[in-house]
Amino acid sequence: MKKLFTILALIALTAGSIGTSSARQPSSSKAQAESVAGVFDYYLLALSWSPTFCLTHKDDAQCTGKGYGFVLHGLWPQYAKGGWPQSCPPLTTLSAAETSKGLTLFPTKKLLDHEWSKHGTCSGLGAMGYLDKSDQALAAVKIPQELQPFGTSYYFEAQEIADLFRRANPGIPEDGIAVVCSGPQLSEVRVCMGKDLQFGACGKGVKTQCRVGDIRVPPAR
């Protein structure tokens, strides 16, 4: 009888745990319903260091000897308290004219379509408006001379990379930029901008993600 009570207690405990877990995990439909186009606090401009991407995606169209350095990953609406909206309804596909415009900004159509679907739809600007805003954001950030495409590897600490960007763009505050690494190599630089594309502080959760010490900045292919 004691053994039976123990088994029943374990079953009840397991059922309770499953119920608690389910309660903590909102459904994808609920999460999407909470994302409303135009309702966000600021933008995060993500600039990818293309050579790092190409080390593991050698057959990608982006990696065909074009000598890319930093390329546009995306312009992402963000919440100041952390997190971001995504895939905001109504979801629409890009027209031929919008795709043509987008390919002057993004290195591949696959990335363009993904960024519009996941992030651009939440800008509240419509497709062409979002692409124009991305173009303006790119133009507002000057790439440091030290980080233009080059033919040999360089090594910097993450803070040095952030400082180079801040010197080239004096309006970026200390808490307005984040450097992201892929293992020991530079992956992205992310710059926080207001809806008016003025530099500003990043919201909760946006921070540098690199190891301590030197990180490698691989050369352009």
Full DSSP string of the chain:
-HHHHHHHHHHHHHHHHHHHHHHHS--HHHHHHT--TT--SEEEEEEEEHHHHHHH-TTSTT-SS----EEEEEEEEE-TTS----SPSSP-PPPHHHHHHHTTTSS-HHHHHHHHHHTGGGSSSHHHHHHHHHHHHHHHSPPPGGGS--SS-EEEEHHHHHHHHHHHSTT--TTSEEEEEETTEEEEEEEEE-TT--B----TT---B--SSEEEEPPP-
Q: Show which residues are catalytic.
A: 73, 115, 119
Residue % of the chain over a pLDDT of 90:
70
Total-model pTM? 0.80
Is the distance from CB of 78 to CB of 44 less than 8 angstroms?
A: yes
Q: Was domain 35-217 assigned CATH 3.30.360.10? A: no
Give the residue-averaged pLDDT of 93-119. Answer: 96
pLDDT of residue 171 exceeding 90, the answer is: yes
Which pLDDT does position 61 carry in this prediction? 55
Give the residue-averaged pLDDT of 56-78. Answer: 71
Which pLDDT does position 16 carry in this prediction? 41
List, for residues 117-159, the tens digit of each pLDDT value.
Answer: 999 999 999 999 999 999 999 999 999 999 987 788 899 999 9
Which pLDDT does position 66 carry in this prediction? 47
Residue % of the chain over a pLDDT of 70:
77
pLDDT of residue 45 exceeding 70, the answer is: yes
**CA pair distance 78, 145, nearest whole angstrom:** 29
Sorting pLDDT into bands at 50, 70 and 90, what band is 62?
A: low
Give the residue-averaged pLDDT of 43-66. Answer: 68
Of the candidates 203, 204, 172, 208, the one whose C-alpha atom is nearest the C-alpha of residue 187 is: 208
